[in-house]
Amino acid sequence: MRSRFRCPRCGAALTSWLRELELADALNLHMSHTWSLPSRWFVRRDSPLLRGSLLTEPASYPWLLAPSMKWLRIHADGARTIGCCGLAHYGPELPNLVCACGHEIGLGYRDCIGPYWFSLHASAVREEAVDAAPLQRLAERLTGLRARVAGPVARTGYDPGGRGAWHHDTTTWDDATRLNEVALDCGGGVDDPAITITSPQLPAGAQLVVPLPWCQLVRLVVLCEKPWAETSSPLRWQNGEQPRVSVSRHRRRVLLTAWGKGDASWAVTFEVRAWAGAWAGLRG
Ligand SMILES: [Zn+2]
Ligand SMILES: [Zn+2]
């Protein structure tokens, strides 16, 4: 089955059609600066998959989603939304996400302690439909990815510069090196994975090394998630002390930024089709 959630006041869609996530490998229960789950999926807060994490509360907002500004809006009252560096919430009595009609319907978190998530109040209307094209061979693809990621990665990545590029200000994107053709591989093992990016637009022999959590690699390769999000809420991940990575799309370009210590901060842009094609290549 697939589900879509609607506003109980005006009937507008609050999400696209979502599948219920059952693949534990794709969930992030504890890591900061990383989405709790992939974008085209939802999890109920009472799911056994969330046991032992802080994501089981508040129960009055039972539908847990990836953060996306496509359907929901941030509440206009800053006292409900402002954290130390991102969107925070101040409890179930003070919803910080609204429908386009203004109805208070959601709770969201994109601050620095713990996973990023959005959730919907129990009053949101749930619509259900048969899944016409369910994802196939998940177990087989997961096994294939485990084998592929097992190889080593040379951790000295090339530094392409581009530190002046910001997701929300697309006029700064030209500061980043533009890669028109790219190829991807992965390695480092399940505990410390990274993707490597090669391109004819990089110096001969150079590769970019982008660490990512295993759950994020599973989302992109096994669940075929879109490898970017909106400039207002970029796809984001971080693995321990490694650089924080954000990916967003504007028109036909994708910006990838890595924020870390010293030369671990850099940015590049891709042609949308080249970046999507490189992920399709990694999926095999
Ligand atoms: Zn509404
Ligand atoms: Zn913060």
Contact 268, 160 (CB under 8 A): yes
Question: 5 C-alpha vs ligand 1 centroid, how far in Å?
Answer: 11
Question: 75 C-alpha vs ligand 1 centroid, how far in Å?
Answer: 13
State how far the Cα of 126 lies from the Cα of 6, in Å rounded to an integer: 6
Q: Which residues of the chain have pLDDT under 70?
A: 262-263
Which ligand neighbours the alpha carbon of 113 most closely? 2
Q: Per residue in 119-149, pLDDT tens?
A: 999 999 999 999 999 888 999 999 999 999 9
Question: 89 C-alpha vs ligand 2 centroid, how far in Å?
Answer: 12
Question: 50 C-alpha vs ligand 2 centroid, how far in Å?
Answer: 23
Question: 113 C-alpha vs ligand 2 centroid, how far in Å?
Answer: 7
Where along the chain do its domains lie?
2-129, 138-283
| CA dist list (Å): 97 to 102, 141, 271 | 9, 36, 32
Question: 83 C-alpha vs ligand 2 centroid, how far in Å?
Answer: 6
Q: What is the pLDDT of residue 263?
A: 66
Q: What is the pLDDT of residue 107?
A: 98
Q: What is the pLDDT of residue 17?
A: 96
State how far the Cα of 72 lies from the Cα of 80, in Å rounded to an integer: 15
Q: What percent of the chain has pLDDT over 90?
A: 95
- Reduced to 3 states, what is the DSSP secondary structure of residue 211? strand
What's phi and psi for 141, nearest 5 deg?
-70, -35
Question: 228 C-alpha vs ligand 1 centroid, how far in Å?
Answer: 27
